[in-house]
Chain A
Amino acid sequence: MSKTKSMSKSKKIGDIISHVVLVILSLIWIFPIFWIVLTSFRVETGTYIDHFWPHGYTLNNYIKLLTDTSQFFFVRWFLNTLLVAVLSCIVSTCFVLFTAYTMSRMQFKLRKPMLNIALILGMFPGFMSMAAIYYILKSLGLSQSLLSLVLVYSGGAGLGFYIAKGFFDTIPKALDEAARIDGATRWQVFTKLTIPFSKPIIIYTILTSFMAPWGDYIFASYIMGDKYSNYTVAVGLYRMLEREFITTWYTRFAAGAVLVSIPISILFIIMQKYYVGGVTGGSVKG
């Protein structure tokens, strides 16, 4: 009797400690995000402040960010990014699903070599070929255009088929066979049978390829160079932190960061179930 009591007591203490630790950790994780939101409403500009709480709150940073186009065109950049994200998301998703389906279902001579080549190609650092991609785009007459960004983000997407292939592998082949006996072509099997079964992995693919352009700074900045009007938000926001702009633009940068993060975060939180499913289903196996 007394043993169970002491056990429940120690369990209670454990619970309290767990909650305290979790609350502290939550504060650590939420603090930078809280800080940027706070900064975005701050009246005083500039990065250096000697006090923690702002002296005043204002919406001016947001208004200026959206309307002041003397240096930066945030609204334009936002729409650019949205356009690039939507287009490259459509192309990537098709590429990934097509490649994954063939690798999972079709039997052909080059299947094994292709799987191996995909693994090998994945081990080259992506930035290594950045300069080459730039000159290829230039020789295609596409340099500094939004289309070139779409191509860069989605061109090699077919290589990222592993997760979707893992998912397709779990759909019983017997279903395919049955449909084929009923006279369906391969294409019909793919569109009428495989696709409807694959909602989670399609959402995962759409989600990751849609989010990529919002966070990519490297390729976008290298390809766009000085063409301000075709920047994406990541490049634009990074520019605001350069030495000559940072004093006026730091709080507006914060406002921009908040505006970019809100839709992406909401999207991610709603879809996180599919995200986890995708990662654990594909790259983690028992």
Chain B
Amino acid sequence: MSKEKKKKGSNPLAFYGETFVKGDLLTKLSFIIMGLSNLLRGQIVKGLIYLSMEFGFIFYMGVFGASAVASLRTLGTKKQGMAFDATLGYDVMQKGDNSMLLLLYGVLSVIIIILFIIMWCKNIHAAYESQLLKEKGERLPNFIDDIKEHFDAKLHKTMLFFPMLGILIFTIAPIIFMILMAFTNFDKDHQVPGNLFTWVGFENFRTMLFSGETIAKTFWPVLGWTIIWAIFATALNYIFGMLLAMLINRKGVRCKGLFRTIFVISIAVPSFVSLLIVRNMLNDDGPINVLLANLHIIKDAQHGIHFLSEPLLARITVIVVNLWVGIPYTMLITTGILMNIPEDLYESAKIDGARPATMYFKITLPYMLFVTGPYLITQFIGNINNFNVIYFLTNGNPATLDYYQAGKTDLLVTWLYKLTVNWKDYSYASTIGVLVFIVSAIFALISYNFTSANRNEGDFS
């Protein structure tokens, strides 16, 4: 048995060939009629389930699936418009193909075919297994036994079924769909149902990355700003959040609980609420400018500080406001970890005459970086994809004509969102999505390697 498993590992396909050679008639027939071996050997329910799957699949493919997969090749050929009708003898409005639905159904059908192939393989295993058991003269497990088995040794199959189904439908299928869309010309000039779109290969990536068009002149600066933003947002939040936690942890500070609660409240308020409030406060005629005018710091609110409408200032503002959002969060996370730093490290440093700043950079920061490394990486990736702060605060504005449908504070993800929702440039949006994925993956890979290298040297392990 173990030998067989080993063989299976080396070449999974060989198993099916061998089974076909070694199997008896029923097992051989199960290659064509699913579940037959189980059905005729007494595992009736199991056999029927396999059989009905096969019928269902054949029915599906015949009615729908086959044509759906076939049309993946062209994504539709019939354009909506006037066409000559021979029976009537004049032009009639012809309902065209909907490229987008064809693509969607094509992807779903391919997934269903893959699932069916997996079930077919399972069917072969089950068929052969029942043959072997029968030959050994052992009792075959009936349906009740199978169900019991699925709550014990095969519990993972039961438990993973619905979560996997959910992930397949709501995460994997949409991602595949959108990745494919990056290779089409589904932009605002090729909108369904009035128009068709089709495959264009790597054209979108070439336009986005290497052409001299506006969209390439938008991509690189927006990418640059996204990375600058992610670095500042992550690093500043981390450092200041930690400092705040240390300040509250300090011996001699009273009402620690009260201070912590005040900062925690700002996390607890849903972020869209607090961000919309802050946006309103920072408006050109918002409360902050009114306050400054009342204090005669500025002439009047109309000539106030353009927190959100002046490009450079707006960028600084979103980073600062993001501090307001993020610092309490870091404070909450790091408070406990900071207290775990061995006190004697500080004691001995003090005896050696180290100053607080030295202790921070030589003890606290390395320790925290070591412990919270993975957290920082997640935060960084999260900030590359940080939608809420930008969207609610500036909506990417101030707008600029140098950019293709983007503003000066737009990140790649908010630009992607605008292209999807406002401009229906799905192909470009998907291209950006794929590029964001590549950027995130590169950063994650580098930093995981970096932290694991750090870890091996591990001063604190």
Contacts and interface: CB of A to CB of B under 8 A. Distances in A.
B155 interface: yes
A25 B412 CA distance: 32
Contact of B272 (A11, A35, A217, A280): A217
A120 B441 contact: yes
Nearest to A190: B155
A277 B169 CA distance: 31
The 3 residue pairs across chains A and B that have the minimum distance between CB atoms: A158-B163, A128-B433, A155-B170
Interface stretch (B55-63, B121-129, B211-219, B242-250): B242-250
Nearest to A101: B159
A181 interface: no
B187 to A, nearest CB: 13
A238 B276 contact: yes
Contact of A131 (B287, B412, B420): B420
A94 B169 CA distance: 17
B433 A284 contact: no
A226 interface: no
A52 B294 contact: yes
Contacts of B333: 276, 279-280, 284
Interface stretch (B130-138, B172-180, B231-239): B172-180
Contacts of B153: 186
B417 interface: yes
Contacts of B290: 49-52
A175 to B, nearest CB: 16
Nearest to B411: A125
Contacts of B254: 19
Contacts of A98: 159-160, 162-163
B165 to A, nearest CB: 9
A25 B244 contact: yes
Given A22-B259, A268-B268, 14 more contacts: A47-B285, A98-B159, A126-B385, A131-B429, A132-B174, A132-B177, A139-B101, A154-B166, A155-B171, A211-B270, A283-B375, A284-B371, A284-B375, A286-B461
B440 interface: yes
Contacts of B392: 217
Interface of B: 100-101, 104-105, 108, 148, 151-153, 155-156, 158-160, 162-164, 166-167, 169-175, 177-178, 181, 244, 247-248, 250, 252-254, 259, 261-274, 276-278, 280-281, 283, 285-287, 290-291, 293-294, 301, 324, 328, 332-333, 335-337, 370-372, 374-375, 378, 381, 385, 387, 391-392, 412-413, 416-417, 420-421, 426, 429-430, 432-433, 436-437, 440-441, 444, 460-461
B402 to A, nearest CB: 24
- Mostly, the B contact residues are helix
B270 A26 contact: no
A130 interface: yes
A186 B149 CA distance: 10
A40 to B, nearest CB: 11
Contact of B430 (A121, A128, A154, A187): A128
Nearest to B301: A50
A154 B433 CA distance: 22
Contact of A30 (B166, B262, B287, B412): B262
Nearest to A155: B170
A269 B261 contact: yes
A268 B248 contact: no
Interface residues of A, number: 86
Interface centre among A47, A135, A253, A284 (most CB of B within 10 A): A284
Contacts of A215: 270-272
Given A102-B160, A123-B381, A123-B437, A36 B332 contact: no
A237 B273 CA distance: 9
A283 B436 contact: no
B301 to A, nearest CB: 7
Given A11-B252, A265-B269, A276-B333, A139 B166 contact: no
Contacts of B285: 47-48
A187 B149 CA distance: 10
A19 B253 contact: yes
A26 B259 contact: yes
Contacts of A264: 268-270
B192 to A, nearest CB: 10
Contacts of A95: 162-163, 166
B169 A136 contact: yes
Contact of A128 (B250, B283, B332, B416): B416
Contacts of A120: 441
B328 A29 contact: yes
A218 interface: yes
A155 B287 contact: no
B193 to A, nearest CB: 13
B265 A269 contact: yes
27 contacts: A15-B250, A18-B247, A29-B262, A33-B274, A50-B293, A51-B290, A99-B160, A121-B167, A123-B381, A125-B412, A129-B177, A132-B173, A136-B104, A136-B174, A185-B152, A186-B152, A214-B270, A215-B270, A215-B271, A218-B391, A234-B270, A234-B272, A237-B272, A238-B276, A253-B276, A260-B270, A264-B268
A285 B436 CA distance: 27
A157 B163 contact: yes
Given A272-B332, A284-B375, A123 B269 contact: no
A43 to B, nearest CB: 16
Contacts of B244: 25
Among B104, B175, B273, residue most surrounded by chain A Cβ atoms (within 10 Å): B273
